[in-house]
Amino acid sequence: MLLYCRFGWVTWPQPNREPVTLFYFEPVTLLQRRGGTHGAMGFLFAMGASGCLVAIGLQHLKSQNERRAFTLIELLVVIAIIAILAGLLLPALAKAQSKARAASCMSGLHQLGLGIQMYADDHGGYFPETTHGTSATNRSWIFTLRPYVGNVDAIRACPSDPLRKARLTNQASSYIPNEYVMVDLVGPFGGVTESFRRMDTLRNPTDTITLFEVATDKEPSLSNDHTHSRNWGQGGWDAVLADIQPDRHGNGAASPRHDSGRANELMACGHVSSVSAALLKARIDRGENIARPPD
Ligand SMILES: [Zn+2]
Ligand SMILES: [Zn+2]
């Protein structure tokens, strides 16, 4: 018999990310035993803001005329069941949630890819610009793309980026354009010595990376809107890690060298790939500059 019902929510603020909110619902029922009522028992269901069940619990509320509380065995059984359920459910839920985030990131990148394609069609085949070498911040790609994507704010932050909120407020993005395709190499006398900025002249758009997932260590600022991938050849994996987060979508804890897990990359042809960090590092270690558009 239902005695009463409690429900509500608690919120814990988190630095640099959205607060964690837990909703709970606890029906409390009377415990009937031979010889009368023996107190009440509450069944606690707690849910995260994303809707997944994060905890179930039991609590025994004593009544004054109670002769016998839970025996130790009963209590241990309940604890064991909760532990087993949590052990079974939580990793599966975490994995499902991380998969869903990676898929949502992919879809955002895909839309950005379509926006870049449309921008290039309207601008003589050229990729959008970045803030490299200019203080005109309104020329940053994420602004010039606005008219070409429905709602750029809905797609410029990756759901797995721990700094997504800061990037949104600082007019930045979780995605960082490849320097090669959005910045010309300028010689000492001001002449352009290397340019891959025209999308329609790329030799191999299926193998040319346009957007990477930005490094978490990269400060969320408007001017951090392009990699310095022309330095990756010399700087190796450390230079790569200064610009991009190759393990943004990993399972479990990140490895210290960020060489396990995966990250999404947008190709110039509009395709989005989920790339293994280990594979990327192996290519960099071989001396390959994976950001340079192939000839
Ligand atoms: Zn992502
Ligand atoms: Zn630059």
Query: What pLDDT digit, counting tens, does each position of 32-42 carry?
Result: 666 666 677 77
Distance 249 CA to ligand 1 centre (A): 6
Q: Identity (one letter) of the amino acid at 108?
A: G
Distance 28 CA to ligand 1 centre (A): 42
Is pLDDT of 45 > 90? no
Distance 188 CA to ligand 1 centre (A): 37
Distance 50 CA to ligand 2 centre (A): 38
- Report pLDDT for 56: 66
- Report pLDDT for 15: 60
pTM of the prediction?
0.74
Q: Which ligand is nearest to the CA of 227?
A: 2
- State both tokens at 16: 């640099």
Express each pLDDT in 146-156 by its tens digit.
Answer: 999 989 999 99
Is pLDDT of 184 > 60? yes
State the pLDDT confidence band at 135, using cuts at 50, 70 and 90. confident
Average pLDDT over residues 187-214: 95
- Report pLDDT for 78: 80
* Spatial contact of 137 and 147, defined as CB atoms under 8 Å apart: no
Residues forming beta bridges with residue 264, ordered by sequence position: 274
Distance 107 CA to ligand 1 centre (A): 10
Distance 129 CA to ligand 1 centre (A): 22
Distance 19 CA to ligand 1 centre (A): 20
Least confident range from 43-47, 170-174, 256-260: namely: 43-47
Is pLDDT of 273 > 80? yes
Distance 78 CA to ligand 1 centre (A): 39
Distance 229 CA to ligand 2 centre (A): 10
Express each pLDDT in 238-250 by its tens digit.
Answer: 999 999 999 999 8
- Report pLDDT for 49: 59
Distance 37 CA to ligand 1 centre (A): 55
CA atoms of 101 and 172, how far apart (whole Å): 19
State the pLDDT confidence band at 120, using cuts at 50, 70 and 90. very high
Is pLDDT of 99 > 80? yes
Average pLDDT over residues 101-127: 97
Q: Which ligand is nearest to the CA of 231?
A: 2
Contacts of 142 (CB under 8 A, 6+ apart): 152, 156, 171, 172, 173, 225
Neighbours of ion ligand 2 (CB under 5 A): 132
What average pLDDT does the chain have?
Answer: 87
φ/ψ (deg, to 5) at 134 = -145, 150
Q: Half-sphere exposure of 176 toward its Cβ, with a 13 Å CA cutoff?
A: 30
Distance 291 CA to ligand 1 centre (A): 18
- Report pLDDT for 14: 62
CA atoms of 254 and 86, how far apart (whole Å): 22
Is the Cα torsion angle 29, 34, 37, 39 positive or negative in sign?
negative
Residue in 96, 130, 122 with CA at minimum distance from that of residue 225: 130
State the pLDDT confidence band at 277, using cuts at 50, 70 and 90. very high
Distance 245 CA to ligand 2 centre (A): 18
β pairing state of 175-177 and 185-186: unpaired
Least confident range from 39-53, 181-195, 237-251: namely: 39-53
Distance 156 CA to ligand 1 centre (A): 10
Is pLDDT of 16 > 60? no
Distance 71 CA to ligand 1 centre (A): 49
Residues forming beta bridges with residue 11, ordered by sequence position: 21
* Spatial contact of 9 and 21, defined as CB atoms under 8 Å apart: yes
Q: Which ligand is nearest to the CA of 101?
A: 1
Residue in 265, 239, 238, 261 with CA at minimum distance from that of residue 251: 261
- Report pLDDT for 48: 66
Higher pLDDT, residue 193 or 47? 193
Distance 30 CA to ligand 1 centre (A): 48
Average pLDDT over residues 265-274: 97
- Taking the mean position of all CA atoms in its chain, how far away is CA 25? 29
